[in-house]
A and B are shown apart, each in its own frame.
Chain A
Amino acid sequence: MVSITEGKPLEHTLEQLSTTREVTILSCNTCAHYCGTGGRLAMDHLAFHLNNNGVTVVGKELVTKVCIQEQLRGCNHTKTIVLMACSSGLISAKEAWPDAVIVPTNSTLGIGSYDPDTGSATLLFPFPGHETSRGARFPSLNTEAIR
């Protein structure tokens, strides 16, 4: 089972960073990677767009599982962290770095399965508010967050 995430629009992230000049991107390389909302490629895309929009990405950290808190040890970060992970990863990071400002780029829709053969994840057990997305596949065609 994997957590199913969907990227928020880039504009939303930029709004959250309107008073921030420098950030570190922290990207999860497991579930979020499967959904196209984390991993190295999505992180590089986001860094490109943040840099182009006046936010300097001074560091990029790829973590296998942000939800395993010990894996966050050794990550270098700025005061503001742009987090590409699920909601559990967010709480894990907030607990690990209580003084940091953490800006999540993803919404977590629920739990599902991943098929490496097709490279897609399917939402099986949606969280409240996302019931209409049951059965949807991710990454969705809406790649706005990393466009």
Chain B
Amino acid sequence: MIMTLRRLDYHALIAFLPRDARVLVWSCNTCARLCNGFGGKEATKALCSMLAEDGLEIVGGEVLSVSCFKSVIRKRLDRADLRMMAEKATHLIPLTCRTGVEMMRNELPWLEIVEVGETVGLGYLSESRGAVLTNSIVEMLDLPDEGIPLSEVAEDLGLFLGPFER
């Protein structure tokens, strides 16, 4: 399971987006959801609601089971309603891992991608410890054999855990 944290808090996100942005939120419902709810249906719905309450135009919130498979993304983009949303949008917020971001960048090159995630490595979902990072792709992290809970990784790296909140 791929472990992803959040780079920005909500205030930084809203400050970054231009007031006339038309926003599409796209999320992965597997690893990103299991990283303390960084992605997934609920996180997508909540972020869309918050942005809309703050006056931004939300053109859609799309959730895929996986966003790291090109063929899955292309199949979804074949759907007319989603294609229209993507063509109408100016900004895309991917609640996905790094590969998901790259897939979006390749498939939807006209959109400005707002990179809100930071993929930190590989891990597992423990029944007692929650999401645990076991292998890091971040050089500054030195991990013990049993890994580190993702919440501690967020603290160590100065990143944010879970979904956007006010």
Contacts and interface: CB of A to CB of B under 8 A. Distances in A.
B99 A67 contact: no
B2 A111 contact: yes
Given A1-B98, A113-B99, A88 B123 contact: yes
- Per DSSP, chain A at the interface is mixed
Contacts of B137: 110-111, 125, 127
B21 interface: no
Given A86-B122, A111-B122, A70 B134 contact: no
B43 interface: no
A66 B125 CA distance: 9
Contact of A1 (B68, B70, B71, B145): B68
B66 to A, nearest CB: 9
A114 interface: yes
A15 interface: no
Given A1-B99, A113-B68, A114-B69, A95 B146 contact: yes
B96 to A, nearest CB: 9
Interface in A66-119: 66-70, 86-89, 91-92, 95-96, 108, 110-111, 113-117
Nearest to B126: A69
Chain B interface size, as a band, is: 20 to 34
Nearest to B100: A1
Contact of A127 (B99, B127, B135): B135
B57 to A, nearest CB: 31
Given A67-B123, A89-B124, A117 B68 contact: no
B1 A65 contact: yes
A67 B124 contact: yes
A125 B68 CA distance: 14
B126 A92 contact: yes
Contacts of A117: 70-71
Contacts of B34: 68
Contact of A115 (B70, B100, B146, B147): B70
A72 to B, nearest CB: 9
Contacts of B135: 3, 87-88, 108, 110-111, 127
Nearest to A72: B127
A46 interface: no
Contacts of A89: 124
Interface of A: 1-3, 65-70, 86-89, 91-92, 95-96, 108, 110-111, 113-117, 124-125, 127
7 contacts: A1-B2, A1-B119, A3-B2, A88-B134, A88-B135, A113-B99, A127-B135
